[in-house]
Amino acid sequence: MKINTTKNHEFLQFIEDWLAQLKTLRVAELAAFGDEIAIVSVDLLKGFCDFGPLSSPRVANIVVPTTALMTSLWQYGVRHILLSQDAHDANAVEFSAFPPHCIRGSAEAETVDAIRDLPFFNQITILEKNSIASDLNVQLSEWIHNHPKVKSYIVVGDCTDLCTYQLAMFLRASANEHQVERRVIVPADCVATYDLPLEVASAAKVMPHPGDLLHAVFLYHMALNGIEVVAGIHAK
Ligand SMILES: [Zn+2]
């Protein structure tokens, strides 16, 4: 297969323009539906933000806007906050694709300090997972089933093209499948992925991962599927 680089250049320009015009949602626009909203945050763990083989400064950068979003939504009465996060077995099958990370009980598998320091942290629900697909943890499906009033899911976290994409697509596709009324909203400023340039990857004999490109393409792909991708959800 040959990839037409000229045509794809135009497409990438389209995505860049599309990203630049994303709207910002106001918290007040959501607040009328306080108990109908859930925030699901994926993998804001020390092992993806602070240290370890999969930590990334790009991912660390979304911690501040994400805790700000949780705080302002909490002030507006949103009480459903879920953290879907890696807690891998020491011999996790996933480690054949990614280096060992976020093993259950390790410091890497701890939620980042900024979220742990939130005054309502003990009211946040933590769901453990052992793959990039949050929905394979049945606790998430049970939670959704047990909270039929929740009509809007705000998905944040990392990585845009991996766990975040899988989670947002699951929430969208499962609502579509079962004819359930549901908004799935992804604020782009609370989502990130890691960057591994070609030259670094080839020296390390691993797959490259251009962060900006994959972040943009996967946000586009979520929007293509009817997920509401917005620039951010801000208080003002
Ligand atoms: Zn993992």
Nearest to 193 by CA among 219, 161, 170, 222: 161
Tens digit of pLDDT at every position of the chain (236 positions): 898 888 899 999 999 999 999 999 998 888 666 789 999 999 999 999 999 999 999 999 999 999 999 999 999 899 999 999 999 999 999 999 999 999 999 999 999 999 999 999 999 999 999 999 998 989 999 999 999 999 999 999 999 999 999 999 999 999 999 999 999 999 999 999 999 999 999 998 999 999 999 999 999 999 999 999 999 999 87
Distance (Å) from CA 168 to ligand 1 centroid? 17
Distance (Å) from CA 11 to ligand 1 centroid? 31
Superfamily of structural domain 24-234: Isochorismatase-like (3.40.50.850)
Interatomic CA distance for residues 31 and 182, integer angstroms: 16
The whole-number pLDDT of residue 35 equals 86
CB distance 156 to 190 below 8 Å: yes
Both tokens of 178, joined, read 């079962």
Distance (Å) from CA 236 to ligand 1 centroid? 35
Distance (Å) from CA 34 to ligand 1 centroid? 32
Runs of H (alpha helix) within the chain: 5-20, 27-31, 46-49, 57-60, 63-75, 113-116, 138-146, 163-177, 198-204, 211-224
User: Where do the domains of the chain lie?
Assistant: 24-234
What's the helix, strand, coil split of the chain in %, to 5? 45, 20, 35
pTM of the model: 0.96
Burial of 18 (0-12, 13-18, 19+ CB in 10 A): middle
Nearest to 197 by CA among 211, 216, 183: 211
Distance (Å) from CA 43 to ligand 1 centroid? 9
The whole-number pLDDT of residue 12 equals 95
Distance (Å) from CA 205 to ligand 1 centroid? 20
Distance (Å) from CA 226 to ligand 1 centroid? 26
